[in-house]
Amino acid sequence: MATAIAATAANLYYNQPLLPSIQHSLGLNDGAVGLVPSATQLGYAAAILLISPLGDVMNRRSLISYLSIFLTLSLLAVFAAPGFAVLTVAFFGVGLGANITQQLLPIGASLAAPARKGAIMGTLMTGLTVGILLSRTVSGTIAEYFGWRAVFLVAAGLAALFGVLLRMNLPDNKPKVSLSYPALIGSMFELLRKHRLLRESALTGALWFAAFNALWATLAIHVTGEPFDFSVQQAGLFGLVGMAGILGAKLAGRLVDTHGPARIIAVALGLVVTSFVVLAIWGDSVAGLVIGIVLLDLGVFGAQIPNQVRVFSIDPDAQSRMNAVYMLGYYIAAALGSAVGVKVMSFAGWHGMAMFGLALASLGLMHHLWHQRSLYARTPTSHKRS
């Protein structure tokens, strides 16, 4: 499951180091090319809203099979896209099909014993981390030798392969909820209204993920220009630097079961804030970029595990819908972060983009700490240690 999550999540990020190549190939301006990663993230957000909740009312294995077929066809459409309009629609379809990841995570959560939920989610999220970070290195390397379109032909083959493997190996599940589709979608908003922890987790996560995507959507543009003048392949290699996120995910998965989610999230967000300080001051040097990216990915993926664990713990019978509400905020923020980050960089440069990321990360940390203080003040003394 972790390997399938890695292969599927990678589709959301293959295009980021390829933006200069896509821009040159199709003759796009800066505003248009910024919509390419945004289309993928918006497709993913739409799937989280409209498809993810179906995991609570239908067999997830069958749903994943349908999504695998759709993802494969969408990737082939990207490969063959003749212009910007078709490319954007195809990337939106890729985002829809990549909802496979959001079906696999609730399966893992439902199979895990409560005392092991953090560790299990850490393993699955390590797969997500690997997919997100290695995607840029893989796509940059393939594009360097075979062109940017070849990346999506290879991705289509992988999507088809994992679709077959998941169909063969996933267990069947019997849904515990029986709702019509309109009622199912409507119930998500009721869950958001009912659970304050869900609202806090979704907003905090959205802020740090917008900052994360602003960085990765602009990094290739930054390093392929002055003073670096790197190739697309070299730009993609920064994904290897971000592999520090694997350590963050695994460490957070081990610690969250013993230390609780709130403390781990606070420390991790402190790392994210620090990363943008480093990127703002020393982002014109390779050393500064490397240190900043390591801190960013440690923080983002270190915060993601405990944040998701506490969301899955709210209501076991509504895990798909809880996850859908939570991740919807994430990927709307990702799309906005990518588009606004590229726009900010176009008129304020790299340092302006880094300050934009710093503002988002700082808001996320302050919101989390304010919520924890408010929650602590309302908790009876006998329960405060928990």
How far apart (Å, rounded) are the C-alpha atoms in residues 37 and 73?
18
Nearest to 359 by CA among 373, 334, 341, 384: 341
Q: How far is CA 138 from CA 15, 133, 155, 235, 240, in A?
A: 11, 9, 10, 11, 10
Which residues touch 134 (CB under 8 Å, ≥6 apart)?
Answer: 6, 10, 239, 240, 243
Residue 223: closest CA among 321, 144, 152, 290: 290
Domains and CATH numbers, the chain: 2-173+196-379 (1.20.1250.20)
Q: Are 285 and 333 in contact (CB under 8 A)?
A: no
CA distances from 268 to 133, 279, 281, 351 (A): 18, 17, 21, 23
Under DSSP, the state recorded for 226 is T
**Per-residue confidence of the chain (386 residues) as pLDDT tens digits?**
999 999 999 999 898 888 888 888 888 877 788 788 889 988 988 898 899 889 888 888 999 999 999 999 999 999 998 888 899 999 999 999 999 998 998 888 778 777 777 778 878 888 887 887 788 888 988 998 999 999 999 999 999 999 999 999 988 877 777 888 899 888 888 899 999 899 999 999 999 999 999 998 899 889 988 888 888 778 877 877 777 777 787 778 778 877 888 889 999 999 999 999 999 999 999 999 999 999 998 899 889 888 988 888 888 778 888 888 888 888 788 888 988 999 999 989 999 999 999 999 999 999 999 988 776 565 544 444 43
Give this prediction's pTM. 0.74
Structure token digits, residue 32: 């248009």
